[in-house]
Amino acid sequence: MTSHAPIAQIDTARAKRQSRSFWRDAGGFILRDRLTVFAIAVLLLATLVCSLAPIVLERVFNLEVNDTNIPDRFKLPGEDGYVLGTDQLGRDQLLRLIYGGRVSLTIAYLASVMTVTIGVSLGLLAGYYGRTVDDLISWGINTLSAIPPLFLLLIAAAVWEPSTEALVLMLAALGWVGTSRLVRGEVLSLKERDYVVAARALGASDLRILASHILPNVFPIVMVTMTIIAGNLILTESGLSYLGMGIQPPTPTWGNMLTDSRSFLVTGVHLIVMPGILIMITVLCFYLVGDGLRDALDPRRYQQ
């Protein structure tokens, strides 16, 4: 009787070579896309500064983000050594923007990763197993889709204190619906492909099929989705802060700094400009990275 093991090993080796070639080609495409490279560099720089600068400022210069100096309130950028001026309590605006960026980016990164993890897991299960599992997960998707997420976030924020950890959990718990629906649709198509049918016929377990054959083909879509979600989460945090349901002062975020500065449009216009510019640039960079990844990971371009 002829063994199928050598054939399976040859197919696996060929698939690995094709996968390496695909990712190598995608990486080269991204490196040639100057706009995407610039957006990635901006995000990496912002993440590095917001992650390391607070540690240096605290341990080396002994500066605290909430240190007040009432005589120096509403200093303009460049005045008396304040690079970006001071706020209504005399706090250094540059220092608060750095600390606020750390909180805002932490929320964006952690919540997007958790959102995608939940969405991909449920989407894989719903699409692959179908029937009762699909019905239950689809019921949850349809139920959450019928309620505007902002209303649920406002209710949750009113019940629980919106700390950074609580806000990340709330955003992840309510934001997985779109990702799950997208992954489910892809899995419904992928599970009928010849290589999946062949793997199942050779006795591969469901876990192996999901991990080795389906998930790698869904992963490019997941990467693009996660960048878009991260940008949306920064806007969501800013919107919650505007409604008074986000992270509460004195903990700074770009969202609540922008909201708190509304009352000082005349006396401290610089307090409005910088948080708004940082939010706009960061969200735009996330969208540009997502657009670049979409083009680089498009299978049709690779086939051509």
pLDDT score of 233 more than 60: yes
The tens digit of pLDDT for each residue in 54-102 reads: 787 777 667 778 888 888 888 888 888 788 888 888 888 888 999 989 9
Q: What is the pLDDT of residue 230?
A: 93
Q: List pLDDT tens digits, range 273-285.
A: 899 999 999 999 9
Identify which of 43, 21, 26 has the alpha carbon closest to the alpha carbon of residue 282.
43
pLDDT given for residue 76 in this prediction: 86
188-199 pLDDT, tens digit each: 888 888 888 888
What is the predicted pLDDT for the residue at 2?
Answer: 46
Q: Which pLDDT score is estimated for 113?
A: 94
**pTM of the prediction?**
0.84
Partners of residue 92 on adjacent β-strands: 86
Beta partners for 86? 92
Provide mean pLDDT across the span 253-274: 85
Higher pLDDT, 227 or 61: 227
* Predicted confidence (pLDDT) per residue in 102-140, tens digit: 999 999 999 999 999 999 999 999 999 888 898 999 998
- pLDDT tens digits along 129-171: 888 898 999 998 888 888 887 788 878 777 777 788 888 988 8
Instruction: For residue 45, name the pLDDT band (cuts at 50, 70, 90).
Output: very high
- Residue, of 24 and 101, whose pLDDT is higher: 101
Is the pLDDT score of 18 beyond 60?
Answer: no
What pLDDT, on a 0 to 100 scale, did the predictor assign at position 48? Answer: 93
pLDDT-derived band at 289, boundaries 50, 70, 90: very high
Q: Note the pLDDT tens digit of each residue in 210-226.
A: 888 888 888 888 888 99
